Amino acid sequence: EPQPQPQRRVFKVIVIGDSDVGKTCLTYRFCSGQFQDKTEATIGVDFRERMVDVDGELIKLQLWDTAGQERFRKSMVPHYYRNYSSFQNLPAWIEECNKYCSSSGGIPRILVGNKSDLKEKSEVDTNTAQRYADSHCMPLFEASAKEDKDFANIEAIFLTLAHKLKCHK
């Protein structure tokens, strides 16, 4: 006789941030293991899923990949400037997050500095990012959707979040 399938819980994770920081690549990498070199600018939202084991419970992580800003803005702003401005725009993203996620205990959040493979060209140093993350009670992960050697960090981002969500009341 077929056994009834256990009801799996689904945790939703919303990935927000400026356009071009690698939100699509990061979620794609976590869910498929691949680096997708040619991404289309995300229109609206997309989601990708992966099952994860959180302390013995199999949970479906549903990653919602959002669109950062209009694509035309990208080409008009030089790369080096965008890089830093994606950090400077964090308060606006946090404000938006607080506006829509008004959970009393505070919704679990993680700050990701993607493209760690380009670290030597980055204008956002780790200490500055860490201070910002600390002041907003978020763990900071520097990761790369591109470099295989940094894949462990991508796993850590989403598994840490899954643990936090499991503990969240």
The footprint of ligand GDP (CB under 6 A) covers: 19-25, 37, 39, 42, 68, 114-115, 117-118, 144-146
Q: Which does 48 bind (CB under 5 to 8 A by kind): ligand GDP, Mg ion, none?
A: none
Choice from 24, 86, 144, 153 touching Mg ion (CB under 5 A): 24
Q: Are 143 and 153 within 8 A, CB to CB?
A: yes
Which of residues 23 and 109 has its CB atom nearest to ligand GDP in the complex? 23
Which of residues 111 and 145 has its CB atom nearest to ligand GDP in the complex? 145
Question: Cα(129)–Cα(40) distance, rounded to whole angstroms?
Answer: 28
Q: Are 21 and 114 within 8 A, CB to CB?
A: yes
Choice from 36, 42, 62, 122 touching Mg ion (CB under 5 A): 42
Question: Cα(4)–Cα(6) distance, rounded to whole angstroms?
Answer: 6
DSSP tag of 146: S
State the minimum distance, in angstroms, from the CB of residue 42 to Mg ion: 3
DSSP tag of 54: E
Which of residues 109 and 115 has its CB atom nearest to ligand GDP in the complex? 115
Residue (of 20, 39, 19) closest to 29 by Cα position: 39
**36 in contact with Mg ion (CB under 5 A):** no
Q: Which does 1 bind (CB under 5 to 8 A by kind): ligand GDP, Mg ion, none?
A: none
